[in-house]
Amino acid sequence: MRKGCPYGSHRVVEPEGLLPQPAWKLDNDPEIYDNEILIDVEVLNIDSASFTQIEEEAGGDEAKIAEVITRIVRDRGKHHNPVTGSGGMLIGKVEKIGKDLDGKIPLEAGNRLATLVSLSLTPLKVDRIKKIHKDIDQVEIEGKAILFESGIYAVLPEDLPQTLALAVLDVAGAAAQTAKLVKPGDRVVIIGAGGKSGLLCLHEARKRAGVTGQVIGITPREKSKKRAESTGYCDQVMIADASNALEVMQKVEEATGGQMADLTINCVNIPNTELASILATRDGGLVYFFSMATSFTSAALGAEGVGKDLNMIIGNGYTRDHDQISMQIMRESPVLRKIFEELYT
Per-10-residue mean pLDDT for the chain, 345 residues long?
A: 92 96 97 97 93 95 97 98 94 96 90 93 98 93 97 89 85 92 98 95 97 97 97 97 97 98 94 96 97 89 96 86 91 94 85
Q: Which of 106, 125, 156 is the last residue of a domain?
A: 156
Residue 18 lies in a domain: yes
CA torsion, points 287, 289, 290, 291, in degrees to nearest 10?
Answer: 140
Do residues 208 and 113 share a domain?
no
Residue 229 lies in a domain: yes
Q: Which of 102, 127, 156 is the last residue of a domain?
A: 156
Do residues 222 and 284 share a domain?
yes
Are 283 and 276 in contact, with CB atoms under 8 Å apart? Answer: no
pLDDT in the model for residue 1? 61
Please count the other Cβ atoms lying within 10 Å of the Cβ belonging to residue 131.
Answer: 11
Do residues 120 and 202 share a domain?
no
Do residues 116 and 231 share a domain?
no
Domain that holds residue 23: 9-156
Residue 4 lies in a domain: no
- What span, in angstroms and rounded, lies between the C-alpha atoms of 45 and 51? 9
- What span, in angstroms and rounded, lies between the C-alpha atoms of 42 and 7? 24
Do residues 182 and 221 share a domain?
yes
Residue 165 lies in a domain: no
pLDDT in the model for residue 61? 96
pLDDT in the model for residue 258? 97
Residue 1 lies in a domain: no
pLDDT in the model for residue 133? 94
Do residues 326 and 178 share a domain?
yes
State phi, psi for 41 to the nearest 5 degrees: -80, 140
Q: Number of structural domains, the chain?
A: 2
Do residues 176 and 138 share a domain?
no
Residue 59 lies in a domain: yes
